[in-house]
């Protein structure tokens, strides 16, 4: 990486830059959504794009998610490459038919004759007291529905490369960014999400997890903001002589199953740390993956899962901090994994 590429960008800046560069290279790419133009997106994902590309390609829409997501689906079917922003993932309920029955299925329903090269971009996550209708992750909900690729970056470098790939895809992609790592000046965030980002365009392939930290004692499989919490937990565990490996999945669909299995084969212990709900979600999927491969994976202790209990996200800060897994909870679960095999007293 040359000196010109040593810039550090927030995740919001990296996403906006990726979109801008793809728009420069392809006149069929455009963006639409609520407050994405003059406001630059309430979480900064389209900052500066209106001034560069104008209202014909950066389009503020009315508050009608069904209308503008449906419009994006139609534009994609006609050969354009739209990016639509659903302001909060929690709002998918009002436009579920467009997402689940059209965006996800129309390629299949047309026998492959209709392509849908579109990105649905949305904000996820809590931790800032926005209550039950603005604080969920829900990526497992969409990963459960065939036909949508699901991308969930944890840092600026990954976000730029994955967004560029998402825009180039001929299949619909759900691109989910956690508000707590976007680098917003009005919101506390993990500094590790702001990274060196090359100025030139680049893509990162889907389905390739990243080993954030190598370790020998246990594997922590996670994604998004939880990567940074796991990293902080791993530092505390290291002081206790516990060497944790951290796997950042980066995409759920496609899922890098091999990276998970390789890590657990090495460490023999698995902790899944997740900000989505516990039941019927990512943590259960990863646990099942390992269980189905016990002929080649030797576990030293039972798999442990750490996720949001099956309750709405509370508005109360103490309650919200309690239900969303924190660094201390990751440390405690890792310690229990080690205690189960007598490594810790």
pLDDT in tens, 174-203: 999 999 999 998 887 788 899 999 999 999
- pLDDT value at position 49? 98
Computed over every residue of the chain, the mean pLDDT equals: 95
For the question of residue 134 being annotated catalytic, the response is yes
- pLDDT value at position 274? 98
- pLDDT value at position 343? 65
Decide yes or no: CATH 3.40.50.970 for domain 3-196: yes
Among residues 102, 134, 178, 228, the one annotated as catalytic is 134
Q: Where in the chain is the domain with CATH 3.40.50.970?
A: 3-196
- pLDDT value at position 272? 98
- pLDDT value at position 342? 63
Residues of the chain with pLDDT under 50: 1-4
| Residue 256 DSSP code | -
Q: Where in the chain is the domain with CATH 3.40.50.920?
A: 210-339
- pLDDT value at position 85? 98
- pLDDT value at position 332? 98
Evaluate if pTM is beyond 0.85: yes
Phi and psi at residue 239, to the nearest 5°: -65, -20
- pLDDT value at position 151? 98
In the sheet that 304-308 helps form, which strands lie side by side, from edge to edge? 210-213, 244-248, 218-222, 270-277, 304-308
- pLDDT value at position 200? 97
* Domain topology for 210-339: Rossmann fold (3.40.50)
Give Cβ neighbours of residue 161 (< 8 Å, ≥ 6 apart): 18, 202, 203, 204
- pLDDT value at position 258? 98
CA distance 177 to 121: 8
Distance spanning both ends of the chain, measured CA to CA? 46
Token reading at 85: 């922003």
């Amino acid at each position: 990486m040359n000196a010109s590429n040593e810039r550090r960008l927030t995740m919001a800046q990296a996403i906006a830059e990726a979109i801008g560069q793809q728009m420069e290279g392809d006149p069929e790419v455009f963006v639409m959504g609520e407050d994405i133009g003059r406001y630059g997106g309430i979480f900064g994902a389209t900052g500066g794009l209106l001034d560069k590309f104008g209202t014909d390609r950066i389009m503020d829409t009315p508050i009608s998610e069904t209308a503008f997501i449906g419009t994006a689906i139609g534009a994609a079917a006609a050969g354009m490459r739209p990016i639509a922003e659903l302001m909060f993932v929690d709002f998918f309920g009002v436009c579920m038919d467009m997402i689940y029955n059209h965006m996800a299925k129309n390629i299949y329903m047309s026998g492959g004759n209709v392509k849908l090269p579109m990105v649905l971009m949305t904000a996820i996550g809590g931790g800032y007291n926005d209550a039950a209708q603005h604080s969920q992750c829900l990526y497992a909900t969409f990963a459960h529905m065939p036909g949508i690729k699901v991308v969930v970056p944890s840092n600026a470098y990954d976000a730029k490369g994955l967004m560029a790939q998402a825009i180039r895809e001929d299949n619909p992609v759900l691109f989910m960014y956690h508000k707590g790592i976007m680098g917003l000046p009005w919101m506390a965030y993990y500094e590790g999400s702001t990274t060196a980002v090359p100025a030139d365009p680049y893509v990162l392939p889907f389905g390739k997890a990243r080993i954030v930290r190598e370790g020998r004692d246990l594997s922590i499989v996670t994604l998004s903001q939880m990567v940074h919490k796991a990293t902080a937990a791993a530092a505390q565990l290291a002081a206790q002589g516990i060497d944790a490996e951290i796997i950042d999945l980066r995409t759920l669909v496609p899922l890098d199953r091999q990276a998970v299995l390789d890590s657990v084969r090495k460490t023999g212990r698995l902790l899944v740390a997740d900000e989505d709900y516990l039941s019927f979600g990512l943590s259960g999927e990863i646990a099942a993956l390992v269980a189905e491969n016990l002929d080649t994976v030797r576990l030293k202790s039972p798999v442990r899962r750490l996720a949001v209990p099956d309750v709405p996200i509370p508005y109360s800060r103490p309650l919200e901090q309690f239900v969303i897994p924190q660094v201390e909870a990751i440390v405690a679960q890792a310690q229990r994994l080690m205690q189960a095999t007598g490594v810790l007293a």
